Chain A
Amino acid sequence: MFAYLANPARFMRVSGRAWRFVAASGIAALAIGLYLALAVAPPDYQQGESVRIMFVHVPSAILAEGVYYLIALASFVALVWRHPLADVAAQAAAPIGAAFTLVCLATGSLWGKPMWGAWWVWDARLTSVLVLFFLYLGYIALVNAFEDPARGARAGAVLALVGVIDLPIIKFSVNWWNTLHQPASILRMGGPTIDRSMLVPLLVMTLAFVLLFAALLLLRMRATLNERKARALRLAAPPRRADPVSTGAAPVLR
């Protein structure tokens, strides 16, 4: 599939139809997920109604990490095989991943204040997620710091690959060190420790976030490819009708 979509023109044709479908299913899943999370799911026996924050917090955390894995994978492909769409995908995904990370941090803080008794603690889990947020910001800044987009893309790809070591640290921080953050509830030895009545809304919300991410990724990739094509056309052929306002600064060579 990746080989088939390697061609940007073909990608534009397929994604033009695909993104609407993906976005529509994402919105539908989000509507169901929000209904389950806010109205159907029971309160927790310890946390009461504040457990509903988890239905946004955990999917954002999953996406925050998942999107970074995708960026790292795309960067690897871009560095080694010079795939024409890999850099585009990585750069399109980064702002979305940063937004998910910020949602994860903010909602975690809003849960931590009443439950733990603190908005923020410098434990290994929270700190490593904050590092992930700065990795996203650093990647976005680095990619745009170069005059030459190709050099910016390559520098960003190297940073993305170096930063990938933060992901296992986030995952296992709660097992390796004494943290205030609780250990994993879903992906753990011995099965989930979360009741089905809460697991189902959580999974629906996660699916909704994944679909919405996919739709936004396609949209942003399409925007980048359109912009590149427009730039190439502008450079290749000057406008037919001479427009003295828009081309005023350039000396007339014709």
Chain B
Amino acid sequence: MTRKRKRLAIAVCGLAALAAATAMVLTAFRDNLVFFYSPSELAARPAIAAGRIRIGGLVENRSLAHEDGRRVSFRVTDGATDIAVSYDGILPDLFREGQGVVAEGRIKDGVFVASSVLAKHDEKYMPPEVAAALKKSGHWQEGGDAGALAGPPPAHFR
């Protein structure tokens, strides 16, 4: 029995130490593991805008404009700040005004020139009829930022 107890104690202590170490590493990396920056973060910390970066947010409603050829321009907003984006390429199927988007590129003369544009899906799944009914009944939260059925918008879009 004592040997079993000893093994149990070693295993539990080992797991606790591992969990603590991981928690510390994750806390330290918290800000470095972001996939994209929001326009507000970009405005607050201009230093991150120096090289190639990814920005994320919602495509502002009525901001999408088709220019010559495939080139499109639109604005990406997080509700507080927004930034103009210019892109020459094929847009993903989920790309829509009011929906989440992640663009990779660099800032030139105040415009974010994207080399790739990825659409960000929200966590809502429903048939078109349900979406139409929600819009009709006024229970629809426009902006695509989460929670047509319930819940606040995710923190990274606020």
- State the A residues within 8 Å of B (CB): 42-48, 50-51, 54, 76, 79-81, 114-118, 121-124, 161-162, 164-165, 169, 176-180, 182-185, 188-195, 197-198
CB pair A195–B121 under 8 Å, yes or no, is no
B151 within 8 A of A: yes
Using a CB-CB cutoff of 8 Å, which residues 40-97 of chain B contact chain A? 56, 90-96
Report the separation of the CA atoms of residues A19 and B146 in the bound assembly, to the nearest whole angstrom.
43
Report the separation of the CA atoms of residues A74 and B156 in the bound assembly, to the nearest whole angstrom.
38
Interface size class for chain B? Answer: 35 or more
B142 within 8 A of A: no
A123 contacts across to B, CB distance below 8 A: 35
CB pair B151–A118 under 8 Å, yes or no, is no
Q: Are A169 and B26 CB-contacts (below 8 A) given A81-B4, A116-B94, A178-B56?
A: yes
The residue in chain B whose Cβ has the minimal distance to the Cβ of A46 is B94
CB pair A114–B123 under 8 Å, yes or no, is no
A54 contacts across to B, CB distance below 8 A: 125
Q: Are A161 and B125 CB-contacts (below 8 A) given A124-B35, A178-B35, A183-B154?
A: no
B34 contacts across to A, CB distance below 8 A: 177-178
Q: Are A80 and B19 CB-contacts (below 8 A) given A124-B35, A184-B123?
A: no
Report the separation of the CA atoms of residues A118 and B156 in the bound assembly, to the nearest whole angstrom.
21
Report the separation of the CA atoms of residues A117 and B26 in the bound assembly, to the nearest whole angstrom.
29
The residue in chain B whose Cβ has the minimal distance to the Cβ of A183 is B123
Report the separation of the CA atoms of residues A122 and B118 in the bound assembly, to the nearest whole angstrom.
13
CB pair A194–B33 under 8 Å, yes or no, is no
Partner of A80, one of B7, B18, B91: B7
Report the separation of the CA atoms of residues A152 and B4 in the bound assembly, to the nearest whole angstrom.
20
Using a CB-CB cutoff of 8 Å, which residues 112-144 of chain B contact chain A? 116-132
Using a CB-CB cutoff of 8 Å, which residues 100-120 of chain B contact chain A? 102, 116-120
Q: How close is A135's CB to chain B, nearest CB, in angstroms?
A: 14
What are 27 A-B residue pairs whose CB atoms fall within 8 Å in the complex?
A: A45-B127, A46-B96, A47-B93, A48-B93, A80-B4, A115-B93, A115-B119, A115-B121, A116-B92, A116-B94, A116-B118, A116-B119, A117-B118, A118-B116, A124-B35, A162-B18, A165-B18, A169-B26, A176-B30, A176-B33, A178-B156, A182-B121, A184-B123, A193-B147, A193-B151, A195-B125, A198-B127
